[in-house]
């Protein structure tokens, strides 16, 4: 294809120049990881792997453990996924299969708008609208009658794991929705028609056809949504209650890895304190990396399957 | 074909209704949020909001003019070095990107797109704030560029790949040098798509708060110098939202309205671009 | 397409012009720290900058912990804290530092309870019991007994505290440690402690916000925040057995005793002060400046500002419910300011 003629200095220069920028990008990523690793060394040396399972967060005694934050991040994210996936998949099915054609573009557009809203605005809405509504219309009544279940134990403050989970769910819906729609679109039309022509209802057709083709893809979308939820900072910080303790009740306040960094970074006096926060950042970085890689792997496998016509 | 039993029909209708409900619930928060932004934001949305500087704590009045200026300064600063870097990198990956090095670069970019933005704030603090011994717009822009660059690298590469190889081959067959062909023809063809990617990334970093918390820090005054702490609208929205002052809450909503307007305008411009391409 | 390029170029050009023009900006001095004096400082810096257009003091209220951290790292020109630095933390500093007292404030318990008026009576042990998580309902007998004139609601007590490193917390926990043995044993004193119960708010602003938003909540904030937000403030029984409400007079009464015993480095605590009118949870707040300034212009500006703050600035305190420094203390501070120098030369 490319001719290698003499006097191609300019071509070589171009290749090298763009290559240099590519190297810069690679360098930045490596630098990021190196900075995180170096700054978390003091904490790593002091606490070791126990850091991940220790529950104390005591700046006075310089004893730090990431357990409450890991717990909070995982619980709020899983809760978000639990709420968001059924809704997103259901909405995707509706848009792709049942909605009249004129509805498709506006609805996709609206879903994309949701994705463009900055996190801090979700947080603002969370504090003043979502939390009071959840508190007065859901948490207080539920705690009154079902407060004996550990999951719903009071007292009810408002800012809580539940509030964070619900807000996160709203935030990740657009991503799961768009991937789900793409996944649903890969189902061969022939198969759908085959089921329908055999006398199946639309729902039965969907159940069979989606069950056969789309589960891995939807699973991939779920993991993708999870990855986004894990790293959310501002919205979570504003509604989770900032309590560094791993509590079972969803109505109680909690904390997340990103939120504790946001709240305490500027004032972490002493090397161990700051280093512990950076170490939490490193743990978060690793977690989101692992989850995103898993999502990508699943989705590329799905695309490969689809193109092979399975 | 026999009739479908009542039970199956009922199930079909129920599921249809549930899917419709899901779609409704998915769109509902959007309307709620925009409704609230408009109603609550309108309260403080006067000209003074956009022109005045913040007043002392507890005194009503004042505005977020320094935040708007700060956001624009940091955003443009970020883009000044991030756009060339990301686009050039994207060109490299699309045109010469076979082999281990290119795979590593792609992996690096993909990894960075998934990193939570607060971590980029840590990066900016350690690398710039500490050695420079001050919070600054530089540090804020550095943190934001770590978010901007990887996203635009991937969108640029994707857009370039959509240009059919026939176009490239035709240019080369005509005797045009490779580098010229790439820039003048391939990139130019893909440019609307590349610009869309840039604009969408720009909209994203305008709304980012976490990376600025301990890099740009914030400023009460009018300040556009790059080596000093600088205000930004998302920071102000955050500070006002978690405060106890009623009029600060109103300003938070108004600031959020200003912010979402900026973000939406850029988003819409970006989409108009892609539509025009077709 | 061309239009978009044109717009972008235009905006870039404007910003370039603005940036260059602002190279002639007035001198910016950056400070960060305590939220406790923030209402006062923000007023001070606003007025001072208006009167002195050549300088601008940019103060970010990120908490006393943040103030100490950032001045230690040298990323700000001055810090602010209501928790005096410990000997240990001062060892980590690159140079000698001065704690310059600027005002006296009161840390007050605030609560959000419908149907209960302001001035709810609390004793030191009851207050400790609430924050220890031992007294969990508003109609607990211990509370009802103190407040027989009020029907206490049968509601959960929701505790709010600071999520960030705070001088306000240091003053509050110092008080609880002084007056309650169980608190002393279980939690102790500090800018950041292991709270037995409650949710965290960021800064005085955050705690006030939480209490305002949450029915049944109780928290602790600096008096100016309680006043500015029209919050219900509790009255507390002081050392002499009197129930006092936190007012300017009560804080000043606590300060009166201080003048005589003020140490040279100004690092003194005012909790549980003697005196019939004294508010038991009072505290000083300090600005942290290095004795040896790295930048002559900025150092001089800081000294000039501090000279203004301890005299003219004091007049603005009453309106915001901060108590002024007693006269003998002002003179002592003035002398200390002479120590701030650049390369050995005093910047006074």
**pLDDT, tens digit (0-9, with 9 covering 90-100), for A183-211:** 888 888 888 888 888 887 888 888 888 88
Reference C107, options C319, C278, C245, C281; nearest CA is: C281
What is the average per-residue pLDDT within A32-54? 90
Inter-chain touch C213–A156, beta carbons under 8 Å: no
Per the CB < 8 A criterion, the answer to whether B134 and C76 are in contact is yes
Is residue A84 within 8 Å of residue A227, measured between CB atoms? no
Nearest Cα to Cα of residue A75 among A142, A166, A180, A137: A166
> How many Å apart are CA C234 and CA C246, to the nearest integer?
8
**Mean pLDDT in chain A?**
87
**Beta-carbon separation of C202 and A263 below 8 A:** yes
Q: Which residue range is the domain that position B97 belongs to?
A: 60-276
Whole-angstrom Cα distance, residue B83 to residue B71? 17
Return the CATH number at B111: 1.10.3720.10
- Say if residues C35 and C205 touch (Cβ distance below 8 Å): yes
Which pLDDT score is estimated for B112? 92
Which DSSP state fits A199?
Answer: T
- Phi, psi of A137, deg, nearest 5: -100, -15
Whole-angstrom distance, CA of residue C194 vs CA of residue A62: 11
In a domain, B233, yes or no: yes
Cα–Cα dist C26/C338, whole Å: 25
Distance between CA atoms of C171 and C34, rounded to whole angstroms? 12
Angstrom distances, CA of residue C46 to CA of B91, B97, C316, C325: 50, 56, 12, 21
Q: Which residue in the block uniquely carries the two structure tokens 């763009």? A: A18
Between these two residues, B248 and C129, which has the higher pLDDT value? C129
Nearest to B224 among C22, C30, C32 (CB): C22
Q: Which helix (H) or strand (E) holds B195?
A: helix B188-206
CA C14 to chain centre: 40
pLDDT computed for residue A6 by the predictor: 45
Q: Which residue of A has its CA nearest to C79?
A: A267
Assess contact for A37 and A16: CB atoms under 8 A: no
Q: Which residues contact B47 (CB under 8 A, 6 or more apart)?
A: none
Cβ contacts (< 8 Å) between B16 and chain A: which residues? 98, 202-203
Look at B29-33, B245-249, C48-52, C142-146 and tell me which has the smallest mean pLDDT.
Answer: B245-249
Please report where in the chains the tokens 């310059």 appear, as a residue: C100
Token digits of residue C113: 């309870």
Tell me how far apart the alpha carbons of residues C206 and C222 are, in angstroms, rounded to a whole number: 12
Of A265-279, C254-268, C290-304, which range is least confident? C254-268
* Nearest residue to B263 (alpha-carbon basis) of B198, B189, B200, B213: B200
Find out whether A208 and A195 touch, Cβ atoms under 8 Å. yes
Asked whether the predicted pLDDT for residue B208 surpasses 50, the reply is yes
Bridge partners of C201, per DSSP, are: C162
pLDDT band at A7 (very low <50, low <70, confident <90, very high): very low
The neighbours of chain A, by the rule of 3 or more Cβ pairs under 8 Å, are B, C
Among the residue ranges A304-308, B226-230, B256-260, the one predicted with the least confidence is A304-308
pLDDT value for B277? 54
Identify the pLDDT of residue A309. Answer: 56
B39 located within any domain: no
- Residue C181's Cβ-side half-sphere holds a number of Cα atoms within 13 Å equal to 0
In a domain, B45, yes or no: no
Interface test with C, best of B59, B80, B138, B244 (most C CBs within 10 A): B244
3-state secondary structure at position C161: strand
Beta bridge partners of C30: C58
φ, ψ of residue A135 to 5 degrees: the values are -65, -50
Assess contact for A280 and A69: CB atoms under 8 A: yes
pLDDT surpasses 90 at A150: no
pLDDT score at A60: 67
CB under 8 Å to B132, separation ≥6 — which residues?
B138, B139, B227
What SS3 state is found at A263? helix
Give A187→chain B minimum CA distance, Å. Answer: 18
Answer whether B221 touches C (CB < 8 Å): yes
Instruction: Measure the CA–CA gap between B98 and B92, rounded to whole angstroms.
Output: 10
- Scanning B80-109 for CB atoms below 8 A from A yields 84-86, 88-89, 91-93, 95-96, 101-102, 104-105, 108-109
Contact C71, C42 (CB under 8 A): no
Task: Please answer whether residues B90 and B154 qualify as being in contact, where contact means their C-beta atoms are separated by less than 8 angstroms.
Answer: yes
Cβ contact C76:C30 at 8 Å = yes
pLDDT over threshold 60, residue B278 = no
- Average the pLDDT over A260-270 and give the result: 83
Q: State what percent of residues in chain C have pLDDT above 90.
A: 41
Q: E-assigned strands of B36-171?
A: none
The answer to whether residue B266 sits within a structural domain is yes
> Residue A113's Cα: distance from chain center in Å?
18
HSE-CB at C126 with a 13 A cutoff on CA atoms is 23
Distance (Å, whole) CA C214 – CA C210: 6
* pLDDT one-digit tens code per residue, C23-57: 556 788 999 999 889 889 989 998 998 888 889 89
Three-class SS state of B113:
helix
A125 has a chain C CB within 8 A of its CB: no
Question: In chain B, what's the furthest Cα-to-Cα distance?
Answer: 81
- Residue A83 sits at φ, ψ, to 5 deg, of -80, -45
Structural domain contains residue B55:
no
**C-beta atoms of B225 and C22 within 8 A:** yes
Provide the chain C residues 8-47 that lie in CB contact (below 8 A) with chain B: 11-12, 15, 18-19, 22-23, 25, 28, 30, 32, 38-39, 42-43, 45-46
Least confident of A137-141, A279-283, B176-180: B176-180
Residues with Cβ within 8 Å of A36's Cβ and at least 6 positions away in sequence, in order, are A278, A281, A282, A285, B119, B122, B123
Q: Look at residue B52 and tell me whether its pLDDT is greater than 80.
A: yes
- Decide if pLDDT at C334 tops 50: yes
For A175, name the nearest residue in chain B, comparing CA atoms only: B26
B150 interfacial to chain A (CB closer than 8 Å): yes
| Helix axes of A67-93 and A215-231: crossing angle, nearest 10 degrees | 140
In angstroms, the CA A271 to CA A266 distance is 13
DSSP classification of residue B227: T
Structure tokens that stand for B25 in this block: 């619930």
Contacts of C214 in chain A (CB under 8 A): 157-158
pLDDT in tens, C153-203: 998 899 999 988 888 999 999 999 999 999 999 998 888 888 999 888 888
Highest mean pLDDT among B45-49, C1-5, C289-293 belongs to C289-293
| Residue A159: closest C-alpha in chain C | C199
**Best to test chain C binding among B81, B209, B232, B243 (most C CBs inside 10 Å):** B243
C157 is written with which tokens? 């007590």
Mean pLDDT for B123-140 is: 90
Instruction: Give the count of beta carbons closer than 10 Å to the beta carbon of residue B19.
Output: 24
R_g of chain B computed on alpha carbons = 24
Q: Is A154 on the interface with C (CB under 8 A)?
A: yes
CA distance A75 to A65: 17
Total domain count, chain B: 1
* Residue B47 domain-assigned (yes or no): no
Kindly determine whether residue C59 and residue B220, on different chains, have CB atoms separated by under 8 Å: yes
Nearest to A215 by CA among A89, A52, A32, A51: A89
Name the residue among C67, C86, C85, C87 with its Cα closest to residue C77: C67
User: Where does residue C51 rank: exposed (0-12), middle (13-18), buried (19+ CB within 10 A)?
Assistant: exposed
Contact residues on chain A for C63, CB-CB shorter than 8 A: 266-267
For residue A128, pLDDT beyond 70: yes
Q: Please check whether residue A282 is in contact with residue A217, taking contact to mean a CB–CB distance below 8 angstroms.
A: no
**Residue A296 token pair:** 């990508």
- Report the distance separating Cα C44 and Cα A194, nearest Å: 78
Host H or E run for residue C342:
strand C341-342
Contact between residue C79 and residue C59 where contact means Cβ atoms under 8 Å apart: no
Q: Are C128 and C176 in contact (CB under 8 A)?
A: yes
| Chains in touch with C (≥3 Cβ pairs < 8 A) | A, B
- In terms of Cα–Cα distance, which of B137, B183, B140 is closest to B163? B183
Q: Does B2 touch chain C (CB under 8 A)?
A: no
């Amino acid at each position: 294809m490319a001719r290698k003629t003499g006097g191609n200095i300019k071509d070589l220069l171009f290749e090298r120049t763009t290559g240099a920028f590519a190297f810069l990008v690679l360098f930045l990523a490596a630098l990021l990881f190196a900075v995180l690793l170096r700054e978390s060394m003091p904490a790593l040396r002091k606490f070791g792997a126990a850091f991940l399972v220790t529950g104390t967060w005591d700046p006075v005694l310089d004893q730090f453990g990431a357990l409450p934050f890991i717990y909070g991040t995982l619980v709020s994210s899983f809760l978000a996924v639990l709420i968001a996936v059924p809704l997103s998949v259901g909405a995707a099915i509706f848009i792709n299969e049942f909605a009249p054609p004129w509805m498709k573009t506006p609805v996709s557009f609206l879903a994309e708008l949701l994705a463009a809203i900055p996190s801090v605005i979700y947080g603002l809405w969370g504090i003043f609208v979502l939390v009071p509504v959840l508190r007065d219309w859901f948490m207080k009544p539920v705690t009154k009658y079902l407060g004996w279940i550990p999951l719903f134990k009071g007292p009810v403050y408002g800012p809580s794991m539940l509030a964070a989970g619900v807000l996160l769910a709203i935030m990740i819906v657009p991503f799961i929705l768009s991937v789900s729609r793409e996944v649903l679109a890969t189902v061969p039309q022939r198969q759908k028609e085959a089921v329908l022509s055999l006398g199946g209802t639309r729902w039965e057709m969907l159940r069979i056809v989606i069950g056969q083709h789309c589960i891995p893809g939807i699973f991939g979308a779920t993991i993708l949504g999870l990855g986004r939820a894990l790293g959310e900072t501002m919205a979570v910080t504003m509604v989770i209650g900032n309590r560094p303790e791993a509590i079972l009740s969803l109505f109680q306040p909690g904390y997340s890895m990103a939120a504790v960094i946001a709240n305490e970074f500027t004032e972490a006096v002493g090397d161990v304190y700051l280093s512990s926060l950076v170490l939490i950042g490193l743990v978060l970085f690793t977690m989101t990396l692992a989850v995103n890689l898993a999502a990508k792997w699943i989705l590329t496998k799905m695309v490969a399957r689809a193109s092979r016509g399975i | 074909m026999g009739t479908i039993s009542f039970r199956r029909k009922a199930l079909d209708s129920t599921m249809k209704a549930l899917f419709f409900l899901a779609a409704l619930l998915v769109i509902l928060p959007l309307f709620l949020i925009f409704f609230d932004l408009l109603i609550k934001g309108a309260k403080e949305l006067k000209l003074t909001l956009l022109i005045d500087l913040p007043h002392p704590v507890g005194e009503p009045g004042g505005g977020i003019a320094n935040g708007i200026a700060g956001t624009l300064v940091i955003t443009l600063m970020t883009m000044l070095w991030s756009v060339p870097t990301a686009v050039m990198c994207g060109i490299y990956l699309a045109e010469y990107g076979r082999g281990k090095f290119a795979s590593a670069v792609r992996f690096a970019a993909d990894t960075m797109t998934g990193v939570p933005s607060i971590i980029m704030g840590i990066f900016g603090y350690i690398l710039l704030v500490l050695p420079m011994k001050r919070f600054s717009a530089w540090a804020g822009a550095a943190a934001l560029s770590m978010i901007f660059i990887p996203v635009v690298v991937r969108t640029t590469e994707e857009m370039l790949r959509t240009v059919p190889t026939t176009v490239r081959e035709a240019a080369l067959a005509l005797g045009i040098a490779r580098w010229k062909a790439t820039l003048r023809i391939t990139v130019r063809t893909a440019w609307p798509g590349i610009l869309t990617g840039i604009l969408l990334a720009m909209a994203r970093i305008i709304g980012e708060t976490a990376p600025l918390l301990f890099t740009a820090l914030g400023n009460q005054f009018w300040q556009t110098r790059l080596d000093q702490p600088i205000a930004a609208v998302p920071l102000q929205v955050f500070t006002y939202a978690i405060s106890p002052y009623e009029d600060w809450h109103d300003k938070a909503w108004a600031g959020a309205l200003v912010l979402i307007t900026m973000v939406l305008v850029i988003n819409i411009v970006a989409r108009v671009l892609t539509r025009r391409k077709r | 397409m061309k239009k978009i390029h044109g717009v972008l170029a235009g905006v870039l050009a404007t910003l370039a012009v603005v940036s260059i023009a602002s190279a002639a900006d007035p001198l910016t001095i950056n400070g960060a720290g305590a939220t406790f004096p923030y209402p006062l400082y923000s007023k001070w810096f606003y007025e001072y900058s208006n009167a002195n257009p050549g300088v601008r003091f940019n103060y970010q209220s990120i908490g006393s912990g943040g103030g100490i951290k950032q001045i230690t790292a040298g990323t700000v020109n001055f810090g602010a804290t209501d928790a005096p630095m410990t000997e240990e933390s001062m060892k980590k500093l690159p140079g000698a530092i001065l704690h310059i007292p600027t005002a006296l404030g009161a840390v007050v318990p605030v609560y959000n309870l419908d149907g209960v008026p302001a001035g709810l009576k609390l004793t030191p042990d009851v207050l400790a019991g609430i924050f220890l998580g031992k007294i969990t309902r508003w109609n607990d007998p211990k509370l009802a007994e103190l407040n027989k004139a009020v029907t206490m609601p049968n509601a959960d007590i929701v505790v709010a505290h600071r999520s960030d490193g705070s001088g306000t917390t240091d003053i509050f926990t110092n008080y609880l440690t002084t007056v309650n043995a169980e608190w002393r044993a279980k939690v102790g004193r500090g800018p950041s402690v292991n709270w037995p119960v409650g949710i965290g708010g960021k800064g005085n602003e955050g705690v006030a916000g939480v209490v305002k938003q949450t029915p049944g909540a109780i928290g602790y904030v600096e008096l100016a925040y309680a006043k500015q937000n029209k919050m219900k403030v509790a009255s507390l029984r002081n050392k002499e057995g009197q129930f006092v409400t936190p007012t300017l007079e009560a804080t000043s009464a606590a300060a009166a005793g201080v003048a005589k015993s003020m140490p040279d480095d100004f690092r003194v605590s005012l909790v549980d002060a003697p005196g019939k009118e004294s508010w038991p949870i009072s505290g000083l707040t300090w600005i942290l400046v290095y004795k040896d300034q790295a930048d002559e212009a900025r150092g001089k500006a800081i000294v000039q500002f501090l000279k203004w703050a301890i005299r003219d600035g004091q007049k603005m305190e009453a309106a915001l419910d901060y108590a002024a420094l007693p006269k003998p203390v002002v003179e002592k501070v003035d002398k200390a300011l002479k120590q701030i120098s650049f390369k050995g030369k005093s910047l006074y």
